[in-house]
Structure 1
Amino acid sequence: MSQKLNTQPVERLKRISPEEFIKCYVKPQKPLIIEQLIDDWPAKDKWTFDYFKSIAGDLEVPLYDSKPITSKYKYNEPQAKMKLRDYIDILQTQPTDLRIFLFNLIKERPILQDHIKVPKLGLSLLKSLPFLFIGGQDSKVFMHYDIDLANILHIHLQGQKQCLIFPPSETKYLYKVANSLKTNDGIDFTDPDFETYPALAYAKGYTANLSPGETLYMPEGYWHHMHYKTAGFSISLRALARQPKHLGKAVYNITVMRYYENLMRKWKGDQWLQHKQKASIENTHKSLNLKAS
């Protein structure tokens, strides 16, 4: 029997009060799936791929794939662009690793704003930033955490999606790449190689299998890896980090780390990225006194 990641299912509740949510999940920074949080959203039934085609099919959208980042492409730069209708046609007919990532479709089509409601959970959610995520069957989003270390409500609306998440405390086991928000490119978190990456065996995280209408709460700075089991889409609502150390790190990420990284890529190119990939393994094993087989 092959070795697997050490994860447990994320706790599930049908509904929760704001007081209980803050006390039991936000303050202790525990993830949660809320099954019926958006039952009163028009988007739950109205939003489909065909509906998106009808209201925004002519919109050109940025697309991302699963290839490792190079010095040519920055972390948040798309690899291609396509009319939304053409992209959806691909999604509905064949597997693809092309994804829409962090796209504000509501800004482009404001009528969609009427289809969502800000959940009352005791968080100051930013309704103006409801980012859209779309993925094809079997597409994957590499393991990463968000630059602003926000509290995130990841609201799944179509298809089946599996989310692997790890708290910040497990970073030392995940082969983090320096000056970045991601882990080593060689790791396939759906089928990890424990011989090459033995530290993964010590990481303790969670698995969340999401169906349409379910909401995953991811606390501040949580690592997350998304696997679209079928073509589908989600949106996320976010609230600023509440913990001072996370706010400080978010400011550093945005004002220092990002610009330093762009400078080094411009100066040393792919040599810099390759050095960091190798160092992520060496430094992890050295700090934990481990050796790859």
Structure 2
Amino acid sequence: MTSPPTSTRLLLHATRDYSTVNGIDSLDTPPTYTHFIKHYLEPNLPVLIGPALTTNWRARQQWVCPVTGKPNFDNLREQLCSNEPVHVPVADCQCKDFTDQKRSTMDLKGFLDEWEEHSQADKPSRMYLKDFHFVKTFPDYGAYETPDIFCDDWMNEFWTRRTDMDDDYRFVYCGGDGTFTPFHADVYRSYSWSANICGVKKWTLFPPNQEHLFQDKLHNTVYDIENVDPTLFPDFHKAKRFTIYQEPGYTLFVPSGWWHQVHNIGDTISINHNWCNGSNLDLLVESMTSDLKEVEREIEHLKDMMDQDEWIETCQKLLLLNSGWDWSTLWNMCSTVRERVKRQQLGEEVAVATAVGTVLKDGVDS
């Protein structure tokens, strides 16, 4: 497999046509990066990739019982649970909280014990470990390696190098039979890849440009596609969709802006990254612009009370609170990549903290 280039050039697509999409490709052999860009990344189309991409991962070899194919709970406890509690985020799949599920934290050992108890009793699970920053929590463990075709990742390059916060978009998900993620599109309209370690995931994916079919009159979005009120969402049944079943070892590439819902069949563990690069930068900008317009509409009645600079600053602060980033964040991400590429081209080694610190200051000023 060829390695990705140091950056991906920005291509502002006039249109991406999903009207002729009739299914989701499945590849037994991992594609080259050139093939991946041409057929999936640039046209923004999903693809399911066979187990060869993940065969050598420690997670595939040690987190799964080779006889039953279920999670190896003893190994997971022994390797990940120390004397000190490891706090993990969990979602209650039976308790809706606005557009998401009710979130809380649990000790990892307690979660694994409860999960194993439900598994042995062959009972559906309620609690779903989601958005667990595994690499941050266990930086030296080496559960997996990011596949080459997903390595041109501007989001995690920037967030893992930031000096003003400690965050990333690299996650582990663990859940029993019946756990699920509600209907959504990924954060910032980023790409994502999801590698299944064990269990089966049922994915239902919806191509972009159908959002008007997902919303009611108040712009609320469908929560659970298997329980839709036709009086609130009378046109939802018209939405084009594709359903696939992701077997153990398989990796799914989810493109920008593809709404989806995921159900776990049996005990499942998966590894997921949200990411972006120049191929979907225009979609990220479009998403942020839409979020900003919504903020501006909400506080339009205050605009006459502010001068232009104060109005812009207020809108950006609210955008950051509501969406998790603002124009300064986007600028900083792109500038971080630009600085790294520039130094690579000059053959220079650069102190990461110094470079990112300078970029952050430049971004705030801009």
In 2, are the aligned partners of 1:177 and 1:183 still within 8 Å (CA)? no
Q: 1:18 aligns with which of 33, 38, 48?
A: 33
Contact in 2 for aligned 1:155/1:215 (Cα 8 Å): yes
Deviation at 1:90, TM superposition (A): 2.0
- Aligned mates of 2:229, 2:323 — CA distance in 1: 28
1:217 aligns with 2:253: yes
Equivalent position of 1:55 in the other structure: 79
Is 253-262 or 58-67 further displaced after alignment? 253-262
Cα deviation per residue 1:42-78 (whole Å; 9 max; x = unaligned)?
32212244232212234121211132225xxx969x6
- Please tell me the residue identity of whatever aligns with 2:193: L
Match status 1:38 vs 2:54? yes
> Matched residue of 2:209: which SS?
helix
- Amino acid aligned to 2:25: E
Structure showing greater Rg: 2
Which of 191, 208, 214 is the equivalent residue of 1:168?
Answer: 208
Offset at 1:158? 1.3
**Preserved contact between residue 194 and residue 271 of structure 2 (Cα < 8 Å):** yes
Matches of residues 169-188 of structure 1 in structure 2 within 5 Å? 169-175=209-215, 183-185=221-223, 188=224
Count, aligned residues = 247
Supply the distance in 2 between the matched residues of 1:8 and 1:195 (Cα, whole angstroms): 29
Larger helix share, 1 or 2: 2
Q: 1:241-263 deviations in whole A, cap 9, x for unaligned?
A: 5334312145455954563589x
The TM-score with structure 1 as length reference comes to 0.73
Alignment partners' CA distance in 1, 2:256 and 2:319: 18
2:208 and 2:259 in contact (8 A); partners too: yes
> Using the alignment, how far apart are the partners of 2:199 and 2:216 within structure 1?
30
After TM superposition, the runs of 4+ consecutive aligned structure 1 residues lying more than 6 A away are 176-179
CA distance in 2, matches of 1:80, 1:105: 17
Decide whether aligned partners of structure 1 residues 246 and 261 sit closer, same or farther in structure 2, where only a CA change above 3 A counts.
closer
Between the aligned partners of 1:69 and 1:147, the Cα distance in structure 2 is: 18
Secondary structure of the residue that 2:257 maps to in structure 1?
coil
Match of 1:144 in 2: 184
d(CA) in 2 for partners of 1:162, 1:80: 25
Residue aligning to 2:328: none
What is the CA–CA distance in structure 1 between the aligned matches of 2:195 and 2:148, rounded to whole Å?
A: 14
Q: Name the CA shift for 1:172/1:107 in 2 (closer, same or farther; >3 Å).
A: same
Q: Which has the higher contact order (CA 8 A, sep 6+)?
A: 1
Question: Is the deviation greater in 78-87 or in 131-140?
Answer: 78-87
Partner of 1:119: 147
Q: Structure 2: 5+ residue runs without aligned partners?
A: 1-20, 65-70, 119-123, 161-168, 293-315, 325-366
Q: CA deviation at 1:203?
A: 0.7
User: Which runs of 5 or more structure 1 residues have no equivalent in the other structure?
Assistant: 1-6, 263-293
Give the direction of change, closer, same or farther, for the CA distance of 1:30–1:261 in structure 2 (3 Å limit): closer
In the alignment, structure 1 residue 259 sits paired with structure 2 residue 321: yes
Asked if the contact 2:203/2:263 (under 8 Å) is kept, the reply is: yes
The answer for the alignment partner of 1:96 in structure 2 is 125
Give TM-score, length-normalised by structure 2.
0.60
